[in-house]
């Protein structure tokens, strides 16, 4: 089991014009291609690393691999499957295990029940798709968790989870009661609640980004 979000193709239901179903963009593709709110912070980070003699791209790729490995370990943990780690180095596995072990402690203490992992959803109305990390439940409520291993929590992450929430509710006909970014930092796991006002604003931003995605093709 590996991180497949970036490579997933999302299709709408078959129609006369698209017998196999129209391919639509994913949430991260839409956000990353239209929104540059974090650009200055990323440029500053890359500059600091380059001045220190480091390769920012190499650091980014390594962090991505560790994140994918952590997702794999956590996914197999909740779905009770055996992880396939052949694509990861021993160092990547060691680093990822720190996050996975911290997640195990948090999950046990939370008392929440596993519902779904890596759930693919499609919004037929707004024509986009996405892959949700975790759906958990407890006390009759449904919770959406999006896992992040970044150093910080950025507005784009809250926009992302708002889009996931909308697509899930449209497709499944179920209400997500609360949304969280699950911040994985080695030995610390912090659930960060995305408030209803942030979800509302994030969804409005995403709808504009979705429109810009199509408008951009005109130029």
| Domain ranges within the chain, ordered by starting residue | 5-218
Classify residue 68 as exposed, middle or buried by CB count within 10 Å of its CB (0-12, 13-18, 19+).
buried
Are β-strands 178-185 and 141-148 bridged in parallel, bridged antiparallel, or unpaired? parallel
Token match 């009661």: residue? 177
Q: What predicted TM-score, i.e. pTM, was given to this entire model?
A: 0.86
Work out the number of other CB atoms within 10 angstroms of the CB of residue 176: 19
Q: Is it true that domain 5-218 has CATH number 3.50.50.60? A: no
Q: How far is CA 85 from CA 37, 66, 71, 167, in A?
A: 34, 11, 11, 31
Walking along the chain (219 residues) 10 residues at a time, the average pLDDT comes out as 59 70 91 78 69 77 87 93 92 92 93 95 95 96 93 91 98 97 87 97 97 91
**Strand, helix or coil for residue 178:** strand
How many Å apart are CA 99 and CA 73, to the nearest integer? 9
């Amino acid at each position: 089991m590996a991180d497949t979000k970036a490579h997933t193709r999302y299709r709408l239901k078959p129609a006369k014009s698209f017998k196999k179903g129209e391919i639509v963009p994913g949430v991260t593709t839409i956000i990353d291609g239209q929104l540059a709110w974090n650009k200055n912070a990323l440029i500053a980070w890359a500059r600091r690393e380059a001045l220190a003699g480091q390769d920012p791209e190499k650091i980014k790729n390594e962090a991505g691999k560790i994140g994918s490995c952590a997702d794999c370990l956590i996914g197999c943990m909740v779905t009770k499957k055996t992880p396939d780690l052949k694509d990861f180095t021993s160092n990547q596995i060691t680093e990822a295990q720190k996050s996975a072990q911290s997640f195990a402690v948090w999950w046990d203490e939370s008392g929440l029940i596993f519902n779904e992992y890596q759930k693919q959803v499609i919004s037929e109305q707004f024509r986009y798709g996405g892959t949700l990390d975790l759906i958990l439940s407890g006390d009759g409520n449904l919770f959406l968790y999006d896992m992040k291993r970044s150093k910080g929590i950025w507005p784009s992450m809250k926009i992302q989870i708002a889009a996931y929430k909308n697509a899930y509710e449209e497709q499944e006909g179920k209400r997500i009661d609360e949304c969280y970014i699950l911040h994985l930092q080695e030995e610390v796991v912090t659930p960060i609640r995305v408030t209803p006002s942030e979800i509302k604003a994030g969804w409005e931003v995403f709808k504009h980004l979705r429109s810009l995605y199509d408008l951009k093709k005109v130029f």
